[in-house]
């Protein structure tokens, strides 16, 4: 279990805490989120997430897209389009479906933009998530041509998770996090926690 | 469970981050699981929602460990839920203590009648401990099918009995031993008892034998097991009786997945898929034809069929031949007309390979493969003249990493004076025993079979890997823990080394 201090210490890249929303709830009471958040007025919406700006050193690894094409991960990220990225696995029952629902709605809401966004979902259970399984998963969430899914070797998936400081020792320890970036060379915006599609879009629109 | 309302319409929910969920994705079971005992994902704790947790008073509410990585993290005290407070939790995401539930918990617009129905369902869910749980005893079985190597059988049973004795002794003796904090949580002390279900005769009679044994002594779960032929009747029995059937050692697991059975791998079918992928990936350099030789038994037929299917439409022609015996005419029939440029897959056990080598001192095809599962680690008996050429489809770890994984097994065997007969096999049994210890610690007194399977799904990759496999992993719905194999070759010192990366078909 990460405390905020440990988290900051372990984060080797430059991290600017841009906004801390309910930090104490998120970091110190996360295991008890269900029961232990602050007492509230009925209906008060308080989706918790942490927004940070970060630069990540990207690993030079090969990934396999859901159409079974083997590709350089960096090239996929740097194809010129803005990127919104997350980590998922197909057998995950709670966090990943939620993240994928957010992506699905983001996809729909950004569909009319002239500047196309590249949505990328990276499997953190790559041996189980074969291209076939990822294709079925993509279909379930209505993924279109701008939303790609990637698998690959365990080593490649680990390297990517570690590069984005998203590796927590095992797939069962993963957290809900979305990354976005305006263009190659720009910093990443990291949104960790519960992000609504509207917030994700707002963040995307304000990318610089 | 399917997320269908009594009206027949799909259940709809909305999360606090305004993500809507519908149907199966909105069903309680998706996060709280079949047992209702909840789950853990990342740092999101999904709490138990069975009647025993929601509606009971403090005095008779059980304790559940909601995060096995943090032993202090147990289910919390709260006033018993009533229909009104449950409705508020379901509709508005506010719990009985007037606190917000996790944003992950959707809000559902359920009617009073529907909330009442949910309550009734939760009251009976995981209400009674499963069969096999006695006052002071927890019953387990292991299964041995006919025709297995008696040495392996003896090794497995020796290990299991020793581990059970060790475990029972350690739970009575609280002093002088380092204990995990998890062991200090209150629970009923139950001795583990192992019964051995030794099956006899033809596989189609096993179902009857299993039912009879189970009637005499109901067990909570079937742990490990040994078979070198079909496992299907045991698989079907476990599914029918809803008994967790944990990680048996078999080269032939059932092909269809079922909730109650977890396996180390898909056995020879996995090897066939790995070989097919390896050959396909060679593109133009792949052989035009592969000859596969197998015994006409369950294992041989399954392997041959799997390879034929995996190479369909690959441009590689598959020719399947049965080896009917070890006499020269039989061997000649199986091995005739194999060209140097063909591929050759020998789905044969060591004795058969040895017989083949008598008529074929050198291998007829440059690219010849044998099955790691069928070899059962008997590489010393591989004909010397074959060694530079033959490749093994090898489903375990190799080299230093392997040694690192199994060092705990070796030390444990030594300290209890148990023999090392078959490293990969015994590492499976050992991993399973440690895993069972972990699982049972985490379950506390919540001895429900469904919960055990769910814990196993979630926790398999979290413990230390003391098996001969590179890594073991599972998740909801996954039933095969190891998912690939190497193509390995013999080094000059006669040891196997990986020639390829870990191949996952």
ipTM: 0.86
Phi, psi dihedrals of residue A91, rounded to the nearest 5°: -90, 10
Q: Where are the alpha helices (DSSP H) in A87-196?
A: 95-110, 131-140, 154-163
Domain co-membership, B364 together with B494 = yes
Report CB contact under 8 Å: B504, A130: yes
H or E, element range at B347: strand B343-347
pLDDT, position B284: 94
Selecting from A31, A36, A170 the residue whose C-beta is nearest the C-beta of B43 gives A31
Report CB contact under 8 Å: A127, B19: no
Q: Report strand pairing: A49-54 vs B245-246.
A: unpaired
Whether residue B115 is predicted with pLDDT greater than 90 in this model: the reply is: yes
Whether residue B478 is predicted with pLDDT greater than 60 in this model: the reply is: yes
Structural domains in chain A, sorted by start: 51-205 (3.40.30.10)
Domain co-membership, B282 together with B254 = no
Domain co-membership, B389 together with B406 = no
- Give the distance from residue A75's alpha carbon to the nearest chain B alpha carbon, in angstroms: 23
pLDDT, position B180: 61
- Give the distance from residue B279's alpha carbon to the nearest chain A alpha carbon, in angstroms: 16
pLDDT, position B178: 53
pLDDT, position B179: 57
Which of B96, B124, B152 is the last residue in one of the domains?
B124
Report CB contact under 8 Å: B20, A47: no
- Measured at the alpha carbon of residue B190, what is the angle toward residues B185 and B195, in degrees to the nearest 5? 140
The answer to whether B325 and B355 have CB atoms below 8 angstroms apart is no
Whether residue B185 is predicted with pLDDT greater than 90 in this model: the reply is: no
Around Cβ A100, how many Cβ atoms within 10 Å?
A: 25
What is the percent of chain B where pLDDT is above 90?
76
Report CB contact under 8 Å: A35, B101: yes
Report CB contact under 8 Å: A125, B43: no
pLDDT, position A118: 97
Question: For residue B443, is it within any domain?
Answer: yes
Q: Which residues of B touch A46 (CB under 8 A)?
A: 16, 100
Domain co-membership, B228 together with B336 = no
pLDDT, position A56: 95
pLDDT, position B182: 61
Determine the structural domain holding residue B444 and report its residue range.
137-267+400-474
pLDDT, position A4: 35
What does the pLDDT look like over B379-416, one tens digit per residue? 888 999 999 999 999 999 999 999 999 999 999 999 99
pLDDT, position B58: 79
Domain co-membership, B63 together with B96 = yes
Whether residue B487 is predicted with pLDDT greater than 70 in this model: the reply is: yes
Instruction: Supply the CATH number for residue B162's domain.
Output: 3.40.50.2300
Question: For residue B33, is it within any domain?
Answer: yes
pLDDT, position B172: 61
Question: For residue B169, is it within any domain?
Answer: yes
Which of B91, B124, B157 is the last residue in one of the domains?
B124
CA B490/CA A70 separation, integer angstroms: 30
Domain co-membership, B88 together with B112 = yes
What is the percent of chain B where pLDDT is above 70?
95
Nearest-10 crossing angle of helices B423-443, B449-459 = 120
Domain co-membership, B167 together with B70 = no
Q: Of B180-184, B301-305, B361-365, which range is least confident?
A: B180-184
CA A195/CA B445 separation, integer angstroms: 37
Selecting from A37, A101, A173 the residue whose C-beta is nearest the C-beta of B21 gives A101
Mean pLDDT over the full length of chain B: 92
pLDDT confidence tier of residue B4, bands split at 50, 70 and 90: confident
Question: For residue B7, is it within any domain?
Answer: no
- Give the distance from residue B304's alpha carbon to the nearest chain A alpha carbon, in angstroms: 23
Report CB contact under 8 Å: B76, A154: no
Domain co-membership, B440 together with B355 = no
Strand partners, B137: B191
Closest residue in B to A173 (Cα) is B42
Report CB contact under 8 Å: A36, B103: no
Report CB contact under 8 Å: B478, A196: no
| Average pLDDT of the residues in B329-356 | 96
Domain co-membership, B285 together with B365 = yes
Q: Which residues of A touch B27 (CB under 8 A)?
A: none
DSSP letters, B45-100, are EE---SHHHHTS-GGG----BS-TTSTT-BPPP-PPP-HHHHHHHHHH-B-TTSBB
Cβ partners under 8 Å of residue B449, min gap 6: B130, B220, B221, B242, B243, B244, B260
Domain co-membership, B164 together with B21 = no
Q: Of B73-87, B290-304, B488-502, which range is least confident?
A: B73-87
| Average pLDDT of the residues in B467-478 | 93
What does the pLDDT look like over B368-380, one tens digit per residue? 999 999 988 888 8
pLDDT, position B66: 78
Q: Of A137-146, B54-63, B109-118, B299-308, which range is least confident?
A: B54-63
What does the pLDDT look like over B259-280, one tens digit per residue? 999 999 999 999 999 999 999 9
Ranges of residues in chain A with a pLDDT under 50 are 1-46
- Give the distance from residue A178's alpha carbon to the nearest chain B alpha carbon, in angstroms: 14
Question: For residue B504, is it within any domain?
Answer: no
Which of B65, B92, B124 is the last residue in one of the domains?
B124
pLDDT, position A38: 35
Report CB contact under 8 Å: A39, B98: yes
Question: For residue B4, is it within any domain?
Answer: no
The answer to whether A12 and B80 have CB atoms below 8 angstroms apart is no
Question: For residue B254, is it within any domain?
Answer: yes
Report CB contact under 8 Å: B17, A194: yes
Residue A54: Cβ-neighbour burial (10 angstroms; 0-12, 13-18, 19+): middle
Question: For residue B505, is it within any domain?
Answer: no
- Give the distance from residue B395's alpha carbon to the nearest chain A alpha carbon, in angstroms: 14
Whether residue B219 is predicted with pLDDT greater than 90 in this model: the reply is: yes
| Average pLDDT of the residues in B52-61 | 87
Domain co-membership, B304 together with B388 = yes
pLDDT, position B181: 63
Tally the domains of chain B. 3
Residue B336: Cβ-neighbour burial (10 angstroms; 0-12, 13-18, 19+): exposed
Domain co-membership, B249 together with B310 = no
- Give the distance from residue A19's alpha carbon to the nearest chain B alpha carbon, in angstroms: 18
């Amino acid at each position: 279990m990460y405390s905020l201090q440990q988290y900051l210490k372990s984060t080797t890249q430059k991290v600017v805490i841009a906004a801390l929303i309910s930090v104490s709830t998120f970091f110190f009471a996360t295991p008890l989120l269900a029961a232990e958040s602050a007492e509230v007025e009925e209906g008060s919406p308080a989706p918790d997430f942490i927004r940070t700006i970060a630069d990540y050193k990207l690993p030079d690894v090969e990934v396999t897209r859901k159409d079974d094409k083997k590709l350089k991960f960096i090239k996929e990220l740097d194809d010129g389009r803005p990127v919104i990225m997350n980590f998922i696995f197909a057998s995950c029952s709670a966090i990943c479906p939620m993240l994928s629902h957010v992506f699905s709605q983001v996809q729909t809401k950004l569909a009319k933009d002239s500047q196309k966004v590249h949505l990328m979902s990276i499997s953190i259970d790559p041996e189980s998530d074969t291209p076939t399984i990822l294709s079925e998963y993509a279909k379930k969430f209505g993924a279109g041509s701008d939303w790609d899914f990637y698998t690959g070797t365990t080593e490649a998936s680990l390297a990517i998770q570690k590069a984005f400081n998203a590796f927590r020792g095992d797939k069962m320890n993963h957290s809900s996090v979305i990354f976005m970036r305006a263009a190659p060379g720009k910093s990443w915006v990291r949104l960790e926690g519960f992000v609504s599609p509207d917030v994700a879009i707002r963040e995307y629109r304000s990318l610089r | 469970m399917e997320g269908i309302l009594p009206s027949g319409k799909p259940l709809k929910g909305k999360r606090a981050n305004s993500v809507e969920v519908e149907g199966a994705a909105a069903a309680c079971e998706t996060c709280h699981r079949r047992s209702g005992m909840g789950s853990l994902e990342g740092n999101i704790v999904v709490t138990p929602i069975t009647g025993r947790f929601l509606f009971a008073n403090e005095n008779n509410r059980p304790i559940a460990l909601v995060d096995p990585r943090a032993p202090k993290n147990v289910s919390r005290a709260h006033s018993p839920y009533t229909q009104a407070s449950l409705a508020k939790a379901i509709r508005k995401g506010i719990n009985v203590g007037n606190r917000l539930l996790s944003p992950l918990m959707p809000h559902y617009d359920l009617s009073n009648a529907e909330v009442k129905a949910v309550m009734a369902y939760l009251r009976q869910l995981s209400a009674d401990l499963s069969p096999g749980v006695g006052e002071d005893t927890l019953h387990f079985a292991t299964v041995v099918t006919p025709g297995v190597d008696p040495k392996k059988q003896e090794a497995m049973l020796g290990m299991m009995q020793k581990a059970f004795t060790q475990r029972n002794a350690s739970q009575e003796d609280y002093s002088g031993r380092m204990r995990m904090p998890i062991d200090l949580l209150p629970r009923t002390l139950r001795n583990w008892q192992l019964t051995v279900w030794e099956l006899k005769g033809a596989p189609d009679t096993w179902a009857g034998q299993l039912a009879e044994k189970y009637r005499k002594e109901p067990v909570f779960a079937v742990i490990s097991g040994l078979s070198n032929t079909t496992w299907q009747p045991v698989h079907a029995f476990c599914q029918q009786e809803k008994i967790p059937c944990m990680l048996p050692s078999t080269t032939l697991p059932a092909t269809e997945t079922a909730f109650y059975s977890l396996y180390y791998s898909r056995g020879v079918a996995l090897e066939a898929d790995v070989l097919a992928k390896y050959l396909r990936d060679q593109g133009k350099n792949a052989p035009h034809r592969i000859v596969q030789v197998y015994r006409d038994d369950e294992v041989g037929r399954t392997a041959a069929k799997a390879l034929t299917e995996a190479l369909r439409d690959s441009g590689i022609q598959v020719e399947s031949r049965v080896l009917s015996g070890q006499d020269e005419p039989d061997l000649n029939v199986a091995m005739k007309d194999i060209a140097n440029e063909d591929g050759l897959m020998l789905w044969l056990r060591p004795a058969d390979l040895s017989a083949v080598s008598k008529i074929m001192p050198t291998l007829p095809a440059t690219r010849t493969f044998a099955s790691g599962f069928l070899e059962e680690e008997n590489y010393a008996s591989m004909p010397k003249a074959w060694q530079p050429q033959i490749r093994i489809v090898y489903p375990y770890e190799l080299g230093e990493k392997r040694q690192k994984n199994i060092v705990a097994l070796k030390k444990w065997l030594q300290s209890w004076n148990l023999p090392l007969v078959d490293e990969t096999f015994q590492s499976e049994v050992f991993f399973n025993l440690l895993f069972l210890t972990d699982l049972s610690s985490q379950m506390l007194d919540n001895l429900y079979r469904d919960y055990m399977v769910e814990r196993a799904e979630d926790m398999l990759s979290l413990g230390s890997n003391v098996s001969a496999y590179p890594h073991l992993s599972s998740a909801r719905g996954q039933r095969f823990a190891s998912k690939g194999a190497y193509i390995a070759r013999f080094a000059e010192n006669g040891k196997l080394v990986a020639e390829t990366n870990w191949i996952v078909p």
